[in-house]
Amino acid sequence: MNKKILLVSTLLLVFFSTAFAAGASEKTENLISVTGTGVITIEPDTASISLAVVTYDEEASVSAQKNAELMTKVIEAVKAIEINDDDIATTNYNMYQESKYDREGAITSKLYRVTNNLDITVHKIDSAGDVIDAALLAGANKLSSITFYAKDTKKAYTAARTLAVQQATDTAKTLAKAAGCTLGKVRSISEQHNANVYRSDMMYMKNAVVAESAVASTPVSPGSTDITVNVNMSFTIK
């Protein structure tokens, strides 16, 4: 019995001695952590237009019928400007009753409002203004927004990543030199990225206003898109 206890004790002692020796052989690394940012500005080549047809009537079915007729005209009008079926999408359709009340709480009028929202993708960005004009003249009376963006951003992201890593590395070298250290290998790297698209919000336009404003061509300015990449990097220092 005593021999077994002695044997177990010896094995445990050997285990802890080995673990201690392994831990002692590992050196704690000194690290320096930095961030870098790369920004590439590109020209957008695509526009996304959000608009709607809004109709009212005392009868729900009549309001829906009016809306359907106007939206059909809107779609036909934008198709005439070389907009494909795949680039036209209904994003929302809703109907609800709007009621007005007098001071006594009695209903003075009630109308059914039908809203049909449409998103149109314009690949020929110079045609964006023409698409808006055609939609308004055909019956669209709510223009929510127009967004410009670039379809292919792969090369821009690659360039932005390269710039971000270069900036982070240069910063690390400067800090290490100022501290009297030598910069070593990269120990970790992570990134965050985003594309800042240009978006213009439009106000709700009543039919009478649309009829007057659509006479002149709608000017649009695509602006630019910034591709931004941020990196966090850690280096060893000696």
Q: What is the pLDDT along the chain (238 residues), one digit of tens a residue?
A: 544 444 444 334 434 444 444 454 456 789 999 999 999 999 999 999 999 999 999 999 999 999 999 999 999 999 999 999 999 999 999 999 988 777 777 777 789 999 999 999 999 999 999 999 999 999 999 999 899 989 889 999 999 999 999 999 999 999 999 999 999 999 999 999 876 655 544 433 333 334 444 455 777 888 888 899 999 999 999 9
CA-to-CA separations, 124 to 128, 133, 205, in angstroms, rounded: 7, 15, 25
What is the reported pLDDT for 219? Answer: 79
DSSP characters for the chain?
-HHHHHHHHHHHHHHHHHHHHHHHHSPPPEEEEEEEEEEEEE---EEEEEEEEEEEESSHHHHHHHHHHHHHHHHHHHHTTT--GGGEEEEEEEEEEEEEE-TTS-EEEEEEEEEEEEEEEESSGGGHHHHHHHHHHHT--EEEEEEEE-S--HHHHHHHHHHHHHHHHHHHHHHHHHTT--EEEEEEEEEEEEEE-EEEE--B--HHHHHHHTTSPPP-----EEEEEEEEEEEEE-
Residues in contact with 101: Cβ distance below 8 Å, sequence separation at least 6, in sequence order:
107, 108
What is the reported pLDDT for 6? Answer: 42
Say if pTM beats, i.e. exceeds, 0.85.
Answer: no
What is the reported pLDDT for 197? Answer: 56
Phi, psi at residue 55, to the nearest 5°?
A: -130, 155
